[in-house]
Copies of this chain bind each other. A is one copy, B any other.
Amino acid sequence: MGNFVDCCRGFWCGTKNPNVRISLPVVCFVWQIAMIILFGVFVRYDEESDAHWSEHRHEKNITSDIENDFYFRYPSFQDVHVMIFVGFGFLMTFMKRYSFGGVGFNFLIGAFGLQWALLMQGWFHSLDPTDGTIKIGIENIINADFCVAGCLIAYGALLGKVSPVQLMILTLFGITLFAVEEHIILSLLHARDSGGSMVIHTFGAYYGLTISWILYRPKLDQSKHLGSSVYHSDVFAMIGTLFLWMFWPSFNSAISDHGDGQHRAAINTYLALAASVLTTFAISSLSAKKGKLDMVHIQNATLAAGVGMGTAAEFMITPYGSLIVGFLCGILSMFGYLVLTPFMEKYMKIQDTCGIHNLHAMPGILGGVIGAITAATASESVYGHEGLINTFDFEGAFANRTPAIQGGFQAAGICVALVFGIVGGIIVGCILRLPFWGDPSDDNCFDDEVYWEVPEDEESIPPILEYNSHMVGKSADRMSDTNFSVEQS
Contact = CB atoms under 8 A, between A and B. Distances in A.
A36 interface: yes
Contacts of A346: none
Interface stretch (A181-189, A222-230, A363-371): A222-230
A463 interface: yes
A285 B29 CA distance: 12
A345 interface: no
A273 B242 contact: no
Interface residues of A, number: 166
A455 B279 CA distance: 23
Copies per assembly: 3
A142 B230 CA distance: 35
Interface string A270-304: 11011101110111011011111111001000100
A405 to B, nearest CB: 19
B286 A452 contact: no
Contacts of A387: 50-55
Interface string A55-87: 101000001111111111011101101100110
B51 A141 contact: no
A230 B459 contact: yes
Given A242-B85, A390-B51, A68 B234 contact: no
A54 B246 contact: no
A416 interface: no
B136 A319 contact: yes
Contacts of A246: 78, 81-82, 85-86
A107 B297 CA distance: 13
A401 interface: no
Given A65-B259, A464-B467, A51 B384 contact: yes
Contacts of A232: 99, 232-233, 236
Contacts of A14: none
B275 A51 contact: no
Contact of A24 (B93, B285, B482): B285
Given A107-B277, A246-B82, A273-B111, A291 B235 contact: no
A386 B55 contact: yes
Contacts of A19: 290-291
A251 B489 CA distance: 63
A382 interface: yes
Contact of A489 (B32, B75, B316, B489): B489
A279 B189 CA distance: 39
Nearest to A459: B459
A39 interface: yes
A417 interface: no
A388 interface: yes
Contact of A115 (B52, B231, B247, B274): B274
Contacts of A479: 462, 464-465
A100 B235 contact: yes
B112 A274 contact: yes
A386 B54 contact: yes
Given A54-B387, A86-B239, A460-B459, A75 B74 contact: yes
B474 A226 contact: yes
A297 to B, nearest CB: 9
A418 B54 CA distance: 35
Contact of A63 (B45, B63, B278): B63
A463 B465 CA distance: 11
Contacts of A104: 238, 293, 295, 298
Contacts of A36: 275, 320, 323-324, 327
A152 to B, nearest CB: 14
Interface stretch (A3-11, A260-268, A406-414, A422-430): A260-268
4 shortest interchain CB distances as A-B pairs: A21-B291, A225-B473, A51-B387, A111-B277
17 contacts: A36-B275, A37-B320, A43-B319, A45-B318, A51-B388, A53-B260, A70-B262, A74-B76, A81-B246, A89-B242, A90-B239, A112-B278, A114-B270, A115-B274, A225-B473, A462-B478, A464-B467
